[in-house]
Protein backbone atom coordinates (compact mmCIF):
# COMPACT_ATOMS: atom_id res chain seq x y z
CA UNK A 1 0.00 0.00 0.00
CA UNK A 2 1.37 3.46 -0.88
CA UNK A 3 1.05 6.60 1.25
CA UNK A 4 -2.21 7.59 -0.39
CA UNK A 5 -3.97 4.24 -0.93
CA UNK A 6 -7.20 3.26 0.83
CA UNK A 7 -8.26 -0.16 2.10
CA UNK A 8 -9.91 -2.42 -0.49
CA UNK A 9 -11.41 -5.89 -0.35
CA UNK A 10 -9.55 -8.74 -2.05
CA UNK A 11 -12.02 -8.66 -4.95
CA UNK A 12 -11.60 -4.89 -5.42
CA UNK A 13 -7.81 -5.25 -5.27
CA UNK A 14 -7.95 -7.91 -8.03
CA UNK A 15 -10.21 -5.64 -10.11
CA UNK A 16 -7.74 -2.76 -9.61
CA UNK A 17 -4.80 -4.96 -10.67
CA UNK A 18 -6.64 -6.13 -13.80
CA UNK A 19 -7.69 -2.65 -14.92
CA UNK A 20 -4.19 -1.29 -14.22
CA UNK A 21 -2.66 -4.02 -16.40
CA UNK A 22 -5.18 -3.35 -19.18
CA UNK A 23 -4.45 0.41 -19.04
CA UNK A 24 -0.70 -0.19 -19.21
CA UNK A 25 -1.04 -2.66 -22.09
CA UNK A 26 -3.76 -1.03 -24.22
CA UNK A 27 -4.11 2.63 -23.23
CA UNK A 28 -0.60 3.90 -22.42
CA UNK A 29 0.88 3.00 -25.85
CA UNK A 30 -1.94 4.93 -27.58
CA UNK A 31 -1.77 8.14 -25.50
CA UNK A 32 0.84 10.13 -27.42
CA UNK A 33 -0.64 9.55 -30.89
CA UNK A 34 -4.19 10.18 -29.68
CA UNK A 35 -3.10 13.40 -27.94
CA UNK A 36 -1.32 14.66 -31.07
CA UNK A 37 -4.21 13.80 -33.40
CA UNK A 38 -6.82 14.84 -30.81
CA UNK A 39 -8.88 11.74 -31.47
CA UNK A 40 -10.18 8.97 -29.29
CA UNK A 41 -8.82 5.52 -30.28
CA UNK A 42 -12.20 3.97 -31.07
CA UNK A 43 -10.95 0.38 -30.90
CA UNK A 44 -10.62 0.79 -27.12
CA UNK A 45 -14.39 0.37 -26.77
CA UNK A 46 -14.21 -3.18 -28.13
CA UNK A 47 -11.02 -3.93 -26.17
CA UNK A 48 -12.50 -2.72 -22.87
CA UNK A 49 -15.85 -4.35 -23.62
CA UNK A 50 -14.30 -7.74 -24.32
CA UNK A 51 -12.19 -7.47 -21.16
CA UNK A 52 -15.33 -6.73 -19.07
CA UNK A 53 -14.46 -3.12 -18.23
CA UNK A 54 -17.31 -1.24 -19.89
CA UNK A 55 -20.35 -0.58 -17.69
CA UNK A 56 -18.64 -2.71 -15.01
CA UNK A 57 -21.45 -2.32 -12.48
CA UNK A 58 -24.11 -3.75 -14.79
CA UNK A 59 -25.61 -7.13 -13.82
CA UNK A 60 -24.34 -10.30 -15.47
CA UNK A 61 -27.81 -10.75 -17.00
CA UNK A 62 -26.94 -7.99 -19.47
CA UNK A 63 -23.32 -9.08 -19.94
CA UNK A 64 -21.87 -6.87 -17.16
CA UNK A 65 -19.36 -7.78 -14.48
CA UNK A 66 -21.76 -7.05 -11.60
CA UNK A 67 -18.99 -5.02 -9.92
CA UNK A 68 -19.63 -2.45 -7.19
CA UNK A 69 -19.30 1.36 -7.36
CA UNK A 70 -15.93 1.19 -5.59
CA UNK A 71 -14.67 -0.88 -8.54
CA UNK A 72 -16.15 1.58 -11.04
CA UNK A 73 -14.21 4.33 -9.20
CA UNK A 74 -11.05 2.21 -9.39
CA UNK A 75 -11.58 1.90 -13.15
CA UNK A 76 -12.02 5.69 -13.51
CA UNK A 77 -8.98 6.35 -11.34
CA UNK A 78 -6.68 3.94 -13.18
CA UNK A 79 -7.80 5.32 -16.54
CA UNK A 80 -7.41 8.90 -15.26
CA UNK A 81 -3.86 8.09 -14.18
CA UNK A 82 -2.92 7.08 -17.74
CA UNK A 83 -5.11 9.33 -19.90
CA UNK A 84 -7.93 11.46 -18.53
CA UNK A 85 -9.46 12.10 -21.96
CA UNK A 86 -9.68 8.39 -22.71
CA UNK A 87 -11.15 7.91 -19.24
CA UNK A 88 -13.75 10.56 -20.09
CA UNK A 89 -15.02 8.69 -23.14
CA UNK A 90 -15.07 5.20 -21.59
CA UNK A 91 -16.63 6.43 -18.34
CA UNK A 92 -19.25 8.59 -20.12
CA UNK A 93 -20.34 5.49 -22.05
CA UNK A 94 -20.49 3.47 -18.83
CA UNK A 95 -22.41 6.11 -16.86
CA UNK A 96 -25.52 8.21 -17.48
CA UNK A 97 -26.27 7.20 -21.09
CA UNK A 98 -26.36 3.50 -20.41
CA UNK A 99 -27.12 3.58 -16.67
CA UNK A 100 -30.39 5.45 -17.30
CA UNK A 101 -31.45 2.56 -19.54
CA UNK A 102 -30.53 0.10 -16.79
CA UNK A 103 -32.26 2.11 -14.05
CA UNK A 104 -35.41 3.28 -15.84
CA UNK A 105 -35.71 1.25 -19.05
CA UNK A 106 -38.16 -1.59 -19.58
CA UNK A 107 -36.88 -5.16 -19.67
CA UNK A 108 -37.28 -5.09 -23.46
CA UNK A 109 -35.17 -1.91 -23.72
CA UNK A 110 -32.47 -3.33 -21.45
CA UNK A 111 -32.24 -6.59 -23.44
CA UNK A 112 -32.25 -4.68 -26.74
CA UNK A 113 -29.67 -2.00 -25.81
CA UNK A 114 -27.41 -3.10 -22.97
CA UNK A 115 -25.56 -6.28 -24.06
CA UNK A 116 -24.05 -4.47 -27.09
CA UNK A 117 -23.15 -1.44 -24.93
CA UNK A 118 -21.42 -3.64 -22.35
CA UNK A 119 -19.34 -5.38 -25.04
CA UNK A 120 -18.42 -2.12 -26.79
CA UNK A 121 -20.33 -3.05 -29.95
CA UNK A 122 -22.40 0.11 -29.48
CA UNK A 123 -21.21 3.47 -28.11
CA UNK A 124 -23.38 5.76 -26.01
CA UNK A 125 -23.19 9.46 -25.26
CA UNK A 126 -25.52 11.47 -23.01
CA UNK A 127 -26.73 14.75 -24.45
CA UNK A 128 -28.01 17.13 -21.80
CA UNK A 129 -26.05 20.41 -22.09
CA UNK A 130 -27.23 23.00 -24.65
CA UNK A 131 -25.77 26.25 -25.97
CA UNK A 132 -27.86 28.21 -23.42
CA UNK A 133 -28.35 25.52 -20.78
CA UNK A 134 -25.57 24.27 -18.50
CA UNK A 135 -26.14 24.08 -14.75
CA UNK A 136 -29.82 25.01 -15.02
CA UNK A 137 -31.12 21.77 -16.53
CA UNK A 138 -34.75 22.71 -15.96
CA UNK A 139 -34.39 25.46 -18.61
CA UNK A 140 -33.77 22.92 -21.39
CA UNK A 141 -34.89 24.06 -24.83
CA UNK A 142 -34.65 20.93 -27.01
CA UNK A 143 -38.23 19.79 -27.67
CA UNK A 144 -39.75 16.38 -28.32
CA UNK A 145 -43.27 16.61 -29.73
CA UNK A 146 -45.45 13.53 -29.90
CA UNK A 147 -46.57 12.50 -33.39
CA UNK A 148 -48.53 9.24 -33.38
CA UNK A 149 -46.31 6.45 -32.07
CA UNK A 150 -43.17 8.60 -32.26
CA UNK A 151 -41.66 11.85 -30.98
CA UNK A 152 -40.09 14.52 -33.18
CA UNK A 153 -36.95 16.06 -31.66
CA UNK A 154 -35.71 19.57 -32.46
CA UNK A 155 -32.85 21.35 -30.74
CA UNK A 156 -29.10 21.61 -30.17
CA UNK A 157 -26.75 20.01 -27.65
CA UNK A 158 -23.24 21.22 -26.76
CA UNK A 159 -20.02 19.65 -25.44
CA UNK A 160 -21.18 16.07 -25.91
CA UNK A 161 -18.50 13.51 -25.04
CA UNK A 162 -18.61 10.58 -27.52
CA UNK A 163 -21.07 12.58 -29.65
CA UNK A 164 -18.95 12.05 -32.78
CA UNK A 165 -18.27 8.36 -32.09
CA UNK A 166 -21.62 7.29 -30.76
CA UNK A 167 -24.06 4.80 -32.20
CA UNK A 168 -26.73 5.95 -29.69
CA UNK A 169 -27.37 9.15 -27.76
CA UNK A 170 -29.37 9.40 -24.56
CA UNK A 171 -31.06 12.75 -25.13
CA UNK A 172 -32.98 14.88 -22.64
CA UNK A 173 -35.75 16.95 -24.22
CA UNK A 174 -38.79 18.93 -23.17
CA UNK A 175 -42.09 17.12 -23.74
CA UNK A 176 -44.33 19.67 -21.98
CA UNK A 177 -44.11 23.13 -20.41
CA UNK A 178 -42.74 21.67 -17.17
CA UNK A 179 -41.69 18.16 -18.09
CA UNK A 180 -38.50 16.67 -19.57
CA UNK A 181 -38.23 13.17 -20.97
CA UNK A 182 -35.29 10.91 -21.90
CA UNK A 183 -34.87 9.20 -25.27
CA UNK A 184 -32.38 6.81 -26.79
CA UNK A 185 -31.75 8.19 -30.27
CA UNK A 186 -29.87 5.96 -32.76
CA UNK A 187 -27.14 7.80 -34.61
CA UNK A 188 -28.55 6.56 -37.93
CA UNK A 189 -31.85 8.45 -37.35
CA UNK A 190 -32.72 11.03 -39.97
CA UNK A 191 -32.23 14.54 -38.56
CA UNK A 192 -29.41 13.46 -36.15
CA UNK A 193 -26.57 15.82 -37.07
CA UNK A 194 -23.06 15.83 -35.65
CA UNK A 195 -21.35 19.22 -35.43
CA UNK A 196 -17.67 20.10 -35.43
CA UNK A 197 -15.21 18.90 -32.80
CA UNK A 198 -14.80 21.16 -29.75
CA UNK A 199 -11.25 22.56 -29.54
CA UNK A 200 -10.37 21.91 -25.90
CA UNK A 201 -7.67 23.02 -23.45
CA UNK A 202 -7.10 19.46 -22.23
CA UNK A 203 -8.61 15.98 -22.38
CA UNK A 204 -7.74 16.09 -26.04
CA UNK A 205 -8.14 12.33 -26.43
CA UNK A 206 -11.85 12.46 -25.72
CA UNK A 207 -14.34 12.94 -28.52
CA UNK A 208 -16.41 16.08 -27.81
CA UNK A 209 -18.79 17.68 -30.32
CA UNK A 210 -22.06 19.56 -30.60
CA UNK A 211 -25.18 17.73 -31.82
CA UNK A 212 -28.27 18.94 -33.62
CA UNK A 213 -31.69 17.31 -33.89
CA UNK A 214 -33.65 18.58 -36.83
CA UNK A 215 -37.09 16.97 -37.08
CA UNK A 216 -35.51 13.76 -35.78
CA UNK A 217 -38.18 11.02 -35.32
CA UNK A 218 -37.72 8.73 -32.36
CA UNK A 219 -40.11 5.81 -31.86
CA UNK A 220 -42.05 5.75 -28.62
CA UNK A 221 -40.37 2.49 -27.62
CA UNK A 222 -37.10 4.46 -27.28
CA UNK A 223 -38.44 6.75 -24.54
CA UNK A 224 -36.73 5.80 -21.28
CA UNK A 225 -38.96 5.98 -18.21
CA UNK A 226 -42.28 7.80 -17.93
CA UNK A 227 -42.94 10.89 -20.06
CA UNK A 228 -42.31 14.13 -18.15
CA UNK A 229 -40.13 12.57 -15.43
CA UNK A 230 -36.80 13.07 -17.16
CA UNK A 231 -35.61 15.84 -14.84
CA UNK A 232 -35.93 13.70 -11.70
CA UNK A 233 -34.23 10.75 -13.45
CA UNK A 234 -31.36 12.97 -14.62
CA UNK A 235 -30.83 14.53 -11.21
CA UNK A 236 -30.83 11.10 -9.54
CA UNK A 237 -28.36 9.77 -12.12
CA UNK A 238 -26.05 12.77 -11.75
CA UNK A 239 -26.31 12.91 -7.95
CA UNK A 240 -25.59 9.23 -7.51
CA UNK A 241 -22.58 9.00 -9.80
CA UNK A 242 -20.42 12.03 -9.16
CA UNK A 243 -17.85 10.20 -7.04
CA UNK A 244 -16.70 8.60 -10.33
CA UNK A 245 -15.62 12.03 -11.67
CA UNK A 246 -13.80 12.52 -8.36
CA UNK A 247 -12.02 9.19 -8.90
CA UNK A 248 -10.98 10.14 -12.42
CA UNK A 249 -9.55 13.44 -11.06
CA UNK A 250 -7.69 11.47 -8.39
CA UNK A 251 -6.08 9.38 -11.11
CA UNK A 252 -4.73 12.48 -12.88
CA UNK A 253 -3.54 13.99 -9.58
CA UNK A 254 -1.86 10.73 -8.52
CA UNK A 255 0.10 10.65 -11.77
CA UNK A 256 1.16 14.28 -11.18
CA UNK A 257 2.16 13.49 -7.60
CA UNK A 258 4.21 10.44 -8.60
CA UNK A 259 5.95 12.43 -11.35
CA UNK A 260 6.76 15.12 -8.77
CA UNK A 261 8.22 12.62 -6.31
CA UNK A 262 10.47 11.19 -9.01
CA UNK A 263 11.51 14.68 -10.17
CA UNK A 264 12.26 15.80 -6.59
CA UNK A 265 14.71 12.88 -6.33
CA UNK A 266 16.34 13.44 -9.74
CA UNK A 267 16.55 17.18 -10.25
CA UNK A 268 19.63 18.71 -8.63
CA UNK A 269 20.11 22.38 -7.75
CA UNK A 270 22.64 23.96 -5.36
CA UNK A 271 24.52 20.64 -5.43
CA UNK A 272 21.69 18.43 -4.13
CA UNK A 273 18.32 16.97 -5.14
CA UNK A 274 15.53 19.56 -4.88
CA UNK A 275 13.72 17.03 -2.65
CA UNK A 276 16.29 17.98 0.05
CA UNK A 277 14.75 21.45 0.29
CA UNK A 278 12.05 21.85 2.91
CA UNK A 279 9.90 23.97 0.58
CA UNK A 280 9.64 21.02 -1.83
CA UNK A 281 9.19 18.50 0.99
CA UNK A 282 6.26 20.49 2.36
CA UNK A 283 4.61 20.60 -1.03
CA UNK A 284 4.98 16.81 -1.38
CA UNK A 285 3.64 16.23 2.14
CA UNK A 286 0.62 18.44 1.46
CA UNK A 287 0.00 16.75 -1.90
CA UNK A 288 0.09 13.27 -0.35
CA UNK A 289 -2.14 14.31 2.57
CA UNK A 290 -4.76 15.98 0.41
CA UNK A 291 -4.71 13.10 -2.07
CA UNK A 292 -5.29 10.61 0.73
CA UNK A 293 -8.14 12.71 2.13
CA UNK A 294 -9.71 12.99 -1.33
CA UNK A 295 -9.36 9.26 -1.89
CA UNK A 296 -10.98 8.45 1.45
CA UNK A 297 -13.92 10.76 0.66
CA UNK A 298 -14.33 9.34 -2.84
CA UNK A 299 -14.26 5.67 -1.90
CA UNK A 300 -16.42 6.31 1.16
CA UNK A 301 -19.07 7.89 -1.11
CA UNK A 302 -18.86 4.83 -3.37
CA UNK A 303 -19.35 2.56 -0.35
CA UNK A 304 -22.40 4.60 0.75
CA UNK A 305 -23.88 4.04 -2.71
CA UNK A 306 -23.01 0.34 -2.63
CA UNK A 307 -24.76 0.07 0.75
CA UNK A 308 -27.94 1.27 -0.97
CA UNK A 309 -28.05 4.55 0.98
CA UNK A 310 -28.65 8.06 -0.39
CA UNK A 311 -25.22 8.99 -1.79
CA UNK A 312 -26.10 12.47 -3.10
CA UNK A 313 -24.34 14.47 -0.37
CA UNK A 314 -21.26 12.24 0.04
CA UNK A 315 -20.93 12.07 -3.77
CA UNK A 316 -21.11 15.88 -4.06
CA UNK A 317 -18.51 16.26 -1.27
CA UNK A 318 -16.28 13.68 -2.95
CA UNK A 319 -16.58 15.34 -6.35
CA UNK A 320 -16.01 18.84 -4.94
CA UNK A 321 -13.01 17.93 -2.79
CA UNK A 322 -11.32 15.47 -5.15
CA UNK A 323 -11.54 17.67 -8.24
CA UNK A 324 -10.44 20.82 -6.41
CA UNK A 325 -7.60 18.80 -4.86
CA UNK A 326 -6.60 17.48 -8.28
CA UNK A 327 -6.49 21.02 -9.67
CA UNK A 328 -4.28 22.12 -6.76
CA UNK A 329 -2.01 19.03 -6.83
CA UNK A 330 -1.40 19.38 -10.58
CA UNK A 331 -0.56 23.06 -10.14
CA UNK A 332 1.97 22.25 -7.41
CA UNK A 333 3.38 19.45 -9.59
CA UNK A 334 4.00 21.92 -12.38
CA UNK A 335 5.70 24.28 -9.91
CA UNK A 336 7.98 21.49 -8.62
CA UNK A 337 9.04 20.79 -12.22
CA UNK A 338 9.94 24.46 -12.77
CA UNK A 339 10.46 25.43 -16.42
CA UNK A 340 10.40 21.79 -17.54
CA UNK A 341 6.90 21.52 -16.09
CA UNK A 342 5.79 24.14 -18.55
CA UNK A 343 7.06 22.15 -21.53
CA UNK A 344 5.65 19.20 -23.44
CA UNK A 345 8.80 17.25 -22.59
CA UNK A 346 7.21 16.29 -19.25
CA UNK A 347 3.64 15.07 -18.75
CA UNK A 348 2.73 17.48 -15.92
CA UNK A 349 1.50 20.20 -18.30
CA UNK A 350 -1.00 17.64 -19.64
CA UNK A 351 -2.08 16.62 -16.12
CA UNK A 352 -2.59 20.31 -15.29
CA UNK A 353 -4.79 20.84 -18.37
CA UNK A 354 -6.68 17.57 -17.86
CA UNK A 355 -7.41 18.12 -14.16
CA UNK A 356 -8.84 21.57 -14.89
CA UNK A 357 -11.90 20.06 -16.57
CA UNK A 358 -13.00 18.01 -13.61
CA UNK A 359 -14.27 20.94 -11.50
CA UNK A 360 -16.63 21.86 -14.38
CA UNK A 361 -18.22 18.67 -15.75
CA UNK A 362 -21.21 16.84 -14.24
CA UNK A 363 -21.95 19.84 -12.03
CA UNK A 364 -19.43 22.60 -11.32
CA UNK A 365 -17.82 23.02 -7.89
CA UNK A 366 -20.32 25.80 -7.18
CA UNK A 367 -23.23 23.48 -7.95
CA UNK A 368 -21.75 20.75 -5.70
CA UNK A 369 -21.70 23.27 -2.85
CA UNK A 370 -25.36 24.09 -3.53
CA UNK A 371 -26.23 20.37 -3.44
CA UNK A 372 -24.42 19.99 -0.11
CA UNK A 373 -25.83 23.19 1.42
CA UNK A 374 -29.42 22.37 0.41
CA UNK A 375 -29.16 19.05 2.18
CA UNK A 376 -27.57 20.65 5.25
CA UNK A 377 -30.29 23.29 5.51
C1 LIG B 1 -14.88 18.52 -22.21
C2 LIG B 1 -16.32 18.58 -21.80
C3 LIG B 1 -17.11 17.44 -21.88
C4 LIG B 1 -18.48 17.51 -21.56
N5 LIG B 1 -19.26 16.38 -21.74
C6 LIG B 1 -20.62 16.50 -21.63
C7 LIG B 1 -21.48 15.41 -22.00
O8 LIG B 1 -21.04 14.33 -22.38
N9 LIG B 1 -22.83 15.60 -21.93
C10 LIG B 1 -23.38 16.78 -21.51
O11 LIG B 1 -24.61 16.88 -21.49
N12 LIG B 1 -22.59 17.82 -21.12
C13 LIG B 1 -21.22 17.72 -21.18
N14 LIG B 1 -20.41 18.78 -20.84
C15 LIG B 1 -21.01 20.00 -20.32
C16 LIG B 1 -20.84 20.14 -18.81
O17 LIG B 1 -21.60 19.16 -18.13
C18 LIG B 1 -21.23 21.58 -18.44
O19 LIG B 1 -20.15 22.37 -18.86
C20 LIG B 1 -21.49 21.79 -16.96
O21 LIG B 1 -22.69 21.18 -16.61
C22 LIG B 1 -21.57 23.28 -16.59
O23 LIG B 1 -22.40 23.98 -17.42
P24 LIG B 1 -21.84 25.30 -18.17
O25 LIG B 1 -20.49 25.02 -18.66
O26 LIG B 1 -22.86 25.72 -19.16
O27 LIG B 1 -21.72 26.40 -17.03
P28 LIG B 1 -22.82 27.44 -16.54
O29 LIG B 1 -23.98 26.72 -15.96
O30 LIG B 1 -23.06 28.46 -17.58
O31 LIG B 1 -22.03 28.13 -15.33
C32 LIG B 1 -21.06 29.17 -15.51
C33 LIG B 1 -20.53 29.54 -14.13
O34 LIG B 1 -21.61 29.99 -13.29
C35 LIG B 1 -21.67 29.20 -12.11
N36 LIG B 1 -23.08 29.00 -11.74
C37 LIG B 1 -24.13 28.60 -12.52
N38 LIG B 1 -25.25 28.54 -11.79
C39 LIG B 1 -24.92 28.88 -10.51
C40 LIG B 1 -25.64 29.00 -9.28
N41 LIG B 1 -26.94 28.72 -9.21
N42 LIG B 1 -24.96 29.39 -8.17
C43 LIG B 1 -23.66 29.66 -8.23
N44 LIG B 1 -22.90 29.57 -9.35
C45 LIG B 1 -23.53 29.18 -10.48
C46 LIG B 1 -21.01 27.86 -12.50
O47 LIG B 1 -20.55 27.18 -11.36
C48 LIG B 1 -19.89 28.34 -13.41
O49 LIG B 1 -18.81 28.77 -12.63
C50 LIG B 1 -19.03 18.73 -21.10
C51 LIG B 1 -18.22 19.86 -20.96
C52 LIG B 1 -16.90 19.81 -21.32
C53 LIG B 1 -16.06 21.05 -21.22
Nearest alpha-carbon partner for 53 in 66, 40, 41: 66
Asked if residue 160 has its Cβ within 6 Å of ligand 1, the reply is yes
Ligand 1 atom closest to the CA of 366, numbered from 1: 47
Distance 161 CA to ligand 1 centre (A): 13
In whole angstroms, give the CA distance from residue 184 to residue 317: 31
* Residue 190 CB burial class (10 angstroms; 0-12, 13-18, ≥19): exposed
In whole angstroms, give the CA distance from residue 55 to residue 67: 9
User: What's the pLDDT at 7?
Assistant: 87
User: What's the pLDDT at 364?
Assistant: 98
Q: Percent of the chain beyond pLDDT 70? A: 99
**In the structure, what pLDDT confidence band is assigned to residue 2 with cuts at 50, 70 and 90?**
low
User: What's the pLDDT at 179?
Assistant: 96
Check if 362 is active-site: yes
In whole angstroms, give the CA distance from residue 140 to residue 129: 8
154 neighbors 216 (Cβ within 8 angstroms): yes
Q: Across residues 177-205, what is the average pLDDT? A: 95
User: What's the pLDDT at 298?
Assistant: 97
Give nearest CA residue, ligand 1 atom 2: 159
* Sequence-distant (≥ 6) Cβ neighbours of residue 22 within 8 angstroms: 47, 48, 51, 53
In whole angstroms, give the CA distance from residue 305 to residue 79: 21
Distance 130 CA to ligand 1 centre (A): 10
User: What's the pLDDT at 205?
Assistant: 86
Q: Across residues 307-324, what is the average pLDDT? A: 96
pLDDT tens-digit readout, 317-358: 999 999 999 999 999 999 999 999 999 999 999 999 999 999
109 neighbors 138 (Cβ within 8 angstroms): no
Residue 1 above 80 pLDDT? no
List domains and CATH numbers for the chain.
10-119 (1.10.540.10), 124-227 (2.40.110.10), 231-376 (1.20.140.10)
In whole angstroms, give the CA distance from residue 194 to residue 152: 17
User: What's the pLDDT at 268?
Assistant: 98
pLDDT tens-digit readout, 150-190: 999 999 999 999 999 999 999 999 999 989 999 999 999 99
Worst-scoring range by mean pLDDT, 165-179, 180-194, 229-243, 269-283?
A: 229-243
Give nearest CA residue, ligand 1 atom 41: 367
pLDDT tens-digit readout, 73-116: 999 999 999 999 999 999 999 998 899 999 999 999 999 999 99
**In the structure, what pLDDT confidence band is assigned to residue 241 with cuts at 50, 70 and 90?**
confident
Pocket of ligand 1, candidates 125, 129, 362: which has the most ligand atoms within 8 Å of its Cβ, to mutate? 129
Amino acid sequence: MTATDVALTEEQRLFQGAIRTLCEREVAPRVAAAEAAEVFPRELFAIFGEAGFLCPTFPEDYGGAGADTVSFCLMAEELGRVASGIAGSLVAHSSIGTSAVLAYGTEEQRRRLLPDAVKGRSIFCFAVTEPNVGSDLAAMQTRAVRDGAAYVLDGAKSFITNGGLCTHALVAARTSEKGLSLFVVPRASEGFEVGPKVEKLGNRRSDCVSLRFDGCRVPEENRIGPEGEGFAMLVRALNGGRMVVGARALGVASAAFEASLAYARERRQFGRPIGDFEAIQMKLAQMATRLRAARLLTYDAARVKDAGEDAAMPAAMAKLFSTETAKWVCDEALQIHGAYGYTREFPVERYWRDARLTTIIEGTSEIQQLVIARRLL
